[in-house]
């Protein structure tokens, strides 16, 4: 007499049948719309309709649809990127935009890598044009009683080259930003603050950039702030950098940064994000004047930010900035009766209508290294 199969065999068979039925149920009951893959920034292939006139094209169309919509497609693609590309082989799925380095570090490629490897050399004439434009602005500001400063935010690969992929080869010749810094350093009106030197010197104090983001972290913001304010202090003795005891860092764990997001890893890895602040802040957020942002600017709420301290003995400042300066705003604002921050869509223009209205004592242009080439002659119409 045969013994009935053990109950756990039966359960195993039922579980197996249920599991292999899930993809079929997923296809049957999932909406037939095309859908959008946000990670891949494209519309997924729609489900084809079987018609007599399109019989020959139907198999290929169905294959495209199946490849785009098979069960757990999104999760499996990102799991492959995480395990195979990120951890095992350090192989970026989008090498034209990001590269996976050592120890989980992710770097921007594109213009950053071209600069690092010396493949983006605009030539002496273009560098002199940039330097000449900044000098012209310094002259116009001086005529208005304004002192002009330029702070250049470095690329992560220049501060932490030790974690770069092995196929990043630094140019033996000076990269164009270094050549431009040499030219600007000789200008006695356009006061240069080369933050790369400050941050490289501060590396022994702790991590200064995020592993998964292109920006400096809260500690990197602190040392960048110190570098800028120390330079301003030479012209405005009342502007003294805060002491370390007046400074605080707040950390929170969050989805990984912008470089990881570009690679589709933001839901799989996290990083501790650190924001800088002041222990007893004096500056407060003030109403915006309402300067109109550039058309189609993606961050209109960030275009104009205003902070102030009710102390008219302090100078006034206008800062033309990009995203790197966002973490410096709480610190920098502690030194000015009114500080206006303008994020002008990476144009880095002189913004004469704003400086003319605000009548600041200083104008600070903060610019990310690759964007130095964005500086163009922007003479106001007379």
Q: What is the pLDDT at residue 74? A: 53
φ, ψ dihedrals at 272, nearest 5°: -80, 120
The values of phi and psi at residue 254, to 5°, are: -150, 170
What is the percent of the chain where pLDDT is above 90? Answer: 64
Crossing angle of the two packed helices 218-233 and 195-202, in degrees rounded to 10: 130
Q: Residue 112: which H helix or E strand, with range?
A: helix 111-116
Q: Is the pLDDT of residue 41 over 50?
A: no
User: 340-380 pLDDT, tens per residue?
Assistant: 999 999 999 999 999 999 999 999 999 999 999 999 886 54
First to last CA, the chain: 106
Least confident interval from 88-97, 100-109, 295-304, 354-363:
88-97
**Mean pLDDT along residues 186-203:** 95
- Mean pLDDT of the chain, nearest integer: 86
Statement: residue 90 has pLDDT above 70? no
What is the mean predicted confidence (pLDDT) over 42-53?
Answer: 70
Confidence band (pLDDT; 50, 70, 90) for 333?
very high
289 pLDDT above the threshold of 50: yes
In DSSP terms, 99 is beta-bridged to 107
pLDDT digits (tens, 9 = 90+) for 120-135: 889 999 999 999 999 9
- For residues 296 and 34, give the distance between their C-alpha atoms in angstroms, rounded to a whole number: 28
Say whether pTM exceeds 0.85. Answer: no
DSSP letters, 305-362, are EEEE-S-TTS-EEEEEE-GGGGGGHHHHGGG-SEEEEEE-TT-----HHHHHHH--SE
What was the pLDDT predicted at 381? 46
Task: Report yes or no: 180 and 152 within 8 Å, Cβ to Cβ.
Answer: no
pLDDT, mean of residues 74-93: 59
């Amino acid at each position: 007499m045969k013994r009935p199969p053990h109950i756990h065999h039966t359960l195993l068979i039922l579980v197996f049948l249920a599991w292999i039925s899930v993809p079929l149920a997923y296809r049957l009951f999932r909406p037939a719309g095309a859908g959008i893959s946000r990670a891949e920034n494209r519309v997924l292939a729609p489900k084809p309709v079987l018609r007599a006139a399109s019989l020959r094209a139907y198999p290929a169309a169905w294959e495209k649809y199946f490849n785009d919509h098979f069960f757990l497609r999104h999760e499996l693609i990102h799991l492959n990127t995480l395990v195979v590309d990120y951890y095992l082989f350090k192989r970026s799925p989008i090498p034209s935009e990001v590269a996976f380095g050592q120890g989980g570090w992710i770097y921007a490629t594109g213009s950053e890598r071209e600069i690092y490897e010396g493949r983006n050399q605009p030539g002496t004439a273009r560098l002199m044009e940039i330097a000449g434009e900044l000098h012209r602005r310094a002259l116009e500001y001086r005529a208005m009683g304004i002192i002009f400063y330029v702070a250049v935010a470095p690329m992560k690969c220049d501060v932490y080259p030790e974690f770069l992929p092995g196929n990043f080869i630094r140019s033996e010749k000076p990269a164009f930003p270094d050549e431009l810094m040499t030219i600007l350093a000789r200008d006695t009106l356009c006061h240069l603050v080369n933050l790369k030197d400050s941050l490289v010197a501060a590396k022994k104090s702790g991590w200064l950039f995020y592993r998964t983001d292109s920006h400096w972290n809260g500690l990197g913001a602190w040392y960048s702030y110190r570098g800028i304010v120390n330079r301003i202090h030479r012209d405005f003795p009342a502007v003294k950098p805060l002491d370390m005891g007046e400074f605080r860092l707040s950390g929170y764990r969050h989805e990984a940064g912008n470089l990881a997001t570009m690679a589709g890893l933001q839901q799989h890895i996290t990083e501790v994000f650190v924001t800088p602040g002041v222990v007893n802040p004096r500056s407060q957020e003030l109403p915006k004047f309402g300067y109109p942002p550039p058309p189609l600017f993606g961050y209109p709420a960030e275009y104009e930010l205003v902070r102030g301290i009710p102390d008219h003995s302090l100078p006034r400042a206008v800062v033309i900035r990009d995203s790197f300066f966002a973490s410096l705003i709480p610190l920098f604002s502690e030194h000015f009766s009114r500080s206006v921050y303008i994020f002008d869509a990476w144009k880095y223009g002189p913004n004469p209508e704003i400086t003319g209205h605000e009548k600041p004592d200083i104008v600070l242009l903060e610019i990310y290294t690759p964007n130095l080439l964005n500086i163009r002659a922007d003479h106001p119409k007379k």
